Amino acid sequence: MAAQVESRLGTIQMRAEFANRGAQLLPGQFVRVRLAGRPIVGAVTVPASCLLQSAQGRFVYVFGPEKEAQMRPVELALVSGNRAILSGGLKAGDQVVLDNLVKVRPGTPLVLRDPVKPATK
């Protein structure tokens, strides 16, 4: 796999060897490839738009016990599309602030609207 994305086309050059019975693929053709990596045990996904950056690192705002915003440092495993996959920092039951992030600071009073149930997988 190439070390960088080709800037004009947004592609990555790859090389693979596999059986091509029936000659369905011809030299020079382009294909879409989806690579599956190893699963990240205990990972949590959140919308990438709620992931913020400070001098101390990446964080999200969570709904605190006193109904106020709390900064929660997180460990980013990777971003896939519009989802951020976090390998640390959040635990089951944490409620992440998803919108109006420009107005949120630590201690900002929050009102919980339309809570989203966490996924089970």
Q: Which CATH number belongs to the domain containing residue 69 in this structure?
A: 2.40.420.20
- Judge whether 27 lies within some domain: no
Whole-angstrom Cα distance, residue 94 to residue 118? 9
> Would residue 68 count as lying in a domain?
yes
Q: Which structural domain range is residue 93 located in?
A: 40-113
Residue 15 lies in a domain: no
pLDDT, one tens digit for every residue, the chain (121 residues): 666 777 777 777 777 788 888 888 888 887 787 777 777 788 889 999 999 999 999 999 999 999 999 999 999 988 888 889 999 999 878 999 998 999 999 999 999 887 777 665 5
Reported residue count of the chain is 121
Distance CA 88, CA 39 (A): 14
The tokens for 50 are: 């709620």
Q: Is residue 28 part of a domain?
A: no
Domain count, the chain: 1
Residue 118 is predicted with a pLDDT of: 65
H-state helical runs in the chain: none
In a domain, 20, yes or no: no
Is the residue at 30 inside a domain? no
Q: 0.85 exceeded by the pTM?
A: no
Residue type, 47: P
Sign of CA dihedral 97, 52, 74, 44: positive
